[in-house]
Amino acid sequence: MLYKKNIAMNKFNKLFGDTNISKGLIKKYNLLIPKIKRREKTIVIRPKFKDQVVVITGASSGIGRACAMEFANNGAKIVLAARRCEELKKIEEKIKMQGGETLSVITDVKKIDDCKNLIDKTVEKYGKIDILINNAGISMRASFEDLDLSVIKELMDTNFYGAVYCTKFALPYLLKQKGTVIGISSISGLTPLPGRTGYSASKHAMDGFLNTLRLENMKKKLNVLVVHPGFTSSNIRNVALNKNGKSQKETPRNEEEMMSAERVAQIIAKATVKRERDLILTPQGKLVVWLHKNFPGITDRIIIHEMSKEANSPF
């Protein structure tokens, strides 16, 4: 056995010690060379969203920005929509540097004309829309007793009506492509969240709107995906409105313990490919939704106890 092993090693050393490996050398040492196909021919990279047109509102930060990068990396043509021009340009440049194709449209989703312009500009350049991601949103932090009513209106106009406007104008093109409407809702679209009455109301409204839209267009093959992230690491809490409608500037929660926006975007992309209808993210989020459905009284006490731990909590 040792003798045979030494012969094999001598053959190996002789073969790789020669700089000119010819067919004659292989035949001389009676070596069997396995047939190996070229790797680039056996592994075919198929981007999940190649040449699909994806419109993303609230694309300048957080989940919107992460979705822009994720879908672009998978071959999609990205239309970025947000109010902050400078941030959009940075993301646009990054996508183009990575070989992607993108268009930026300054959009305030509270304005009907801006939403129509976003869709018009998209169709003007690309001729179609395959996916609309209604992500634009703001949050708040104040008890309803203390807040100014303008805060509630601001949240409804952005989180709910912004999604309604964009979906309305994009719908004919989405139906033509048998495409997908995505709404970035929240766990608080399924459960109560004290201190965020306006936010929770806007997300419940979004859920009702999109779930009904799905039913109305079932036979037309429109896919509607409603995403319910748990607490996600982003700047949404930094810019959340206080009782007077001003940005609170500092987050009251530990952002490091939250799911990243990039991870959320990856999950959304995968669910879009599978044409799923509903996502509930994070183990904690899934648990709270299940508890609220089955044990609402107990869950109320758990939620209020958890939210009372926040810095400067009104509870």
Residue tagged active-site, from 161, 165, 173, 199: 199
Known catalytic residue: 3? no
Q: DSSP string covering the chain, please?
A: -HHHHHHHHHHHHHHHH-S---HHHHHHTT--PPP---HHHHS----TTTT-EEEEESTTSHHHHHHHHHHHHTT-EEEEEES-HHHHHHHHHHHHHTT-EEEEEE--TTSHHHHHHHHHHHHHHHS--SEEEE-----B-S-TTTS-HHHHHHHIIIIIIHHHHHHHHHHHHHHHHT-EEEEE--GGGTS--TT-HHHHHHHHHHHHHHHHHHHHTGGGT-EEEEEE--SEESSTTTS-B-TTS-B--S-SS-GGGSEEHHHHHHHHHHHHHTT-SEEE-SHHHHHHHHHHHH-HHHHHHHHHHHHTTSTT---
Q: Which residues are catalytic?
A: 199
